[in-house]
Chain A
């Protein structure tokens, strides 16, 4: 997972953890396009975190580190760091985290997933694959506007 890329907010280590989390947070289903985790991480770093308030950036980075060291302990059967988990183990961790009895942890998961969902489902080709075509919608809106103007 090591990358030579430079990030605006995340360290390479944090970016590596996030990249390892992305496929199992989002999951796989037949009609969805393949996940380019590097693209997701770059968007989260450069488009979202870089321009987010400082407290939010800090919180998100702490969540990534907690995912690596703390959450496998809270939601796993035996302790391993996140990067050493198999895909099935990661999915189980996210499932348990999302349904945690602690509302703080559930909210933390919602926040962690939200930014990843923005990054993935905000890509035009992914949105199109689930039926939403922003380009066509905009074109339609512009045509209606021209007629009206």
Chain B
């Protein structure tokens, strides 16, 4: 059953086998897999429970209700990067674009060779991905509903001979409502709030929304439960307490809040690696003005891609359109010039580049600051590659017939001719010159085979605290380079099988992909 704040009339005390903190791509999968295997599961989710009735195609409304800090989560450094995070049942999957990738082979090989993760094999992960993809109806976006924004970009990429295609997405009978990042109003997108979580609930898991975990209880070096409070969604004040006794605790709060939680609890950090190695996939958006209407809000916002540069330069180009209330704040200029651009909004298209970076940041817990502090600086090589990616997006837009291109750079706010692309490439840009948004925090509780260099082992279990697992993108040792939700789910599925083995040691072996 899924309980919201209004369902809770008294303090809650519960015992279960598995307590899960967080209901995103990691926590939801763990919950469903383990309850399906016959274990009792309790999930604590800090955000509220929203369904399609709450999704009204009004982006700002969704940002205010389902995004952490009302969408104003950011990293400090050079540049300052906006890092939107979901705080709702389903986690960020409820407000993401639904893009699905498997782990790139070269990334897995790097993890195997350099982080001792030889147990993560292509074969095993392949079976797991297949199973998840089937459950979530993962399929290629239908060109009929991708919308002109994505079709135009692909047309430009095709003209230039760049490798491009339509993205795979976890969407069933999607008709391109165009508001994936603000809650799918048709339940097409199979985010955790309508897939794994309801299934876990149906099988008997107790899901507590509006419930903030605060402490992991540890006894004799083993995790034995979670304590927290329910949060009044109106005032954000703590109300009734919750105490869950468990044989296993899984922390799945994402790559910002999982390390923050461990640091606050002073847990699992003998390696000193908790909160380090923050990667975020920095993204730079490039807008374009066309003669004809594009209506970028119609169709699937993120449905086409260009992967021409992924192997060589480490960046992907992906669709990124949003409705006017959100997009207005990303376009250049102020005053009448900005209004002039906005008055032509139907003719504006938007695409973005996403960098697999080598820069690293950190997540810290400060004594008198009630939130995690994220630091992140873009290094010079990443800035160079991001600049190159912006130039390629501009090139594709011009090839597609754009009249003007807006690369969101203070030093070059507008290009009126493709000839200026060379000029753009020659600029000596630094991290500070970009307007960066990032969507995929990773790496802050990295897994590995060496307890001195990692936080968890290849089964996502803490080296320091037995039966404490971390299961979200924080365990990735490096940038993934592609949208991470499928890989988080795959690792969670694998971890769930391992936990099942601990809890029922005499159970006959089951192939994890089945």
* Chain A residues close to B by CB (< 8 Å): 24-32, 47-48, 51-53, 55-56, 90-91, 94-95, 97-101, 103-104, 106-107, 109-111, 113-114, 117-118, 120-122, 124, 126-127, 130-132, 134, 137-138, 140-142, 144-145, 148
Contact A127 B324 (CB under 8 A): yes
Distance of A137 Cα from B183 Cα, bound (Å): 13
Taking the complex as formed, is B161 at the interface, i.e. its CB lies under 8 A from any CB of chain A? no
What 1/0 mask marks residues of chain B from 42 to 72 whose CB sits below 8 Å from any chain A CB?
A: 0000000000100011111101100001101
Contact A103 B78 (CB under 8 A): yes
Contact B60 A122 (CB under 8 A): yes
Distance of A106 Cα from B339 Cα, bound (Å): 18
- Contacts of B64 on A, CB cut-off 8 Å? 47-48, 51
Contact A56 B329 (CB under 8 A): no
Taking the complex as formed, is B185 at the interface, i.e. its CB lies under 8 A from any CB of chain A? yes
Contact B57 A134 (CB under 8 A): yes
Stretch at the interface among B1-9, B148-156, B172-180, B457-465: B172-180
Which single residue of chain B is at the shortest CB-CB distance from A137?
Answer: B57
How far in angstroms is the closest Cβ of chain A from B317?
23
Taking the complex as formed, is B143 at the interface, i.e. its CB lies under 8 A from any CB of chain A? no
Contact B335 A91 (CB under 8 A): yes
Distance of A132 Cα from B293 Cα, bound (Å): 12
Contact A110 B58 (CB under 8 A): no
Within 8 A of A (CB), among B273-307: 293, 295, 297
Distance of A47 Cα from B61 Cα, bound (Å): 10
What are 11 A-B pairs at a CB distance below 8 A? Answer: A24-B335, A27-B337, A27-B338, A107-B80, A118-B60, A131-B293, A131-B345, A134-B58, A141-B57, A144-B186, A145-B187
Contact B342 A29 (CB under 8 A): yes
Contact A127 B342 (CB under 8 A): no
How far in angstroms is the closest Cβ of chain B from A122?
4
Which single residue of chain B is at the shortest CB-CB distance from A47?
Answer: B64
How far in angstroms is the closest Cβ of chain B from A132?
5
Determine chain B's interface SS by DSSP, over half rule: loop
Taking the complex as formed, is B371 at the interface, i.e. its CB lies under 8 A from any CB of chain A? yes
CB < 8 Å: which of B70, B297, B343, B370 contacts A29?
A: B343
- Contacts of B432 on A, CB cut-off 8 Å? 103
- Contacts of B309 on A, CB cut-off 8 Å? none
Select the residue from B52, B179, B186, B335 with max chain A CB neighbours within 10 A. B335
Distance of A45 Cα from B338 Cα, bound (Å): 23
How far in angstroms is the closest Cβ of chain A from B168?
21
Contact A32 B56 (CB under 8 A): no
Known: A48-B64, A103-B410, A148-B186. 13 other contacts (CB 8 A): A24-B334, A27-B335, A29-B340, A30-B343, A52-B72, A90-B335, A91-B334, A95-B335, A103-B79, A103-B432, A130-B346, A132-B345, A137-B185
How far in angstroms is the closest Cβ of chain B from A63?
13
CB < 8 Å: which of A94, A104, A118 contacts B335?
A: A94
Distance of A58 Cα from B173 Cα, bound (Å): 45
Q: Provided the pairs A53-B371, A130-B343 are in contact, do residues A28 and B325 lie with their beta carbons within 8 angstroms? A: no
How far in angstroms is the closest Cβ of chain A from B470?
25
Taking the complex as formed, is B435 at the interface, i.e. its CB lies under 8 A from any CB of chain A? yes
Contact A27 B346 (CB under 8 A): no
Q: Provided the pairs A27-B337, A48-B70, A132-B297 are in contact, do residues A141 and B343 lie with their beta carbons within 8 angstroms? A: no
Q: Provided the pairs A27-B338, A29-B340 are in contact, do residues A118 and B329 lie with their beta carbons within 8 angstroms? A: yes
Distance of A62 Cα from B61 Cα, bound (Å): 25
Distance of A95 Cα from B59 Cα, bound (Å): 27
CB < 8 Å: which of B185, B333, B435 contacts A142?
A: B185
Contact B325 A110 (CB under 8 A): no
Contact B435 A110 (CB under 8 A): yes
Q: Provided the pairs A113-B329, A145-B186 are in contact, do residues A95 and B334 lie with their beta carbons within 8 angstroms? A: yes
Q: Provided the pairs A103-B433, A131-B346, A137-B178 are in contact, do residues A95 and B371 lie with their beta carbons within 8 angstroms? A: no
How far in angstroms is the closest Cβ of chain A from B409?
10
What 1/0 mask marks residues of chain B from 301 to 345 whose CB sits below 8 Å from any chain A CB?
A: 000000000000000000000011110110011111111101101
How far in angstroms is the closest Cβ of chain A from B367?
15
Taking the complex as formed, is B413 at the interface, i.e. its CB lies under 8 A from any CB of chain A? yes
Distance of A106 Cα from B500 Cα, bound (Å): 51
- Contacts of B293 on A, CB cut-off 8 Å? 131
Contact B345 A130 (CB under 8 A): yes
Distance of A144 Cα from B188 Cα, bound (Å): 10
Select the residue from A29, A55, A104 with max chain B CB neighbours within 10 A. A29
Distance of A106 Cα from B334 Cα, bound (Å): 11
- Contacts of A141 on B, CB cut-off 8 Å? 57, 177, 185-186
Distance of A26 Cα from B324 Cα, bound (Å): 13
Q: Provided the pairs A134-B58, A148-B173 are in contact, do residues A27 and B329 lie with their beta carbons within 8 angstroms? A: no
CB < 8 Å: which of A31, A99, A103, A145 contacts B185?
A: A145
CB < 8 Å: which of A27, A56, A109, A144 contacts B340?
A: A27
Distance of A111 Cα from B334 Cα, bound (Å): 13
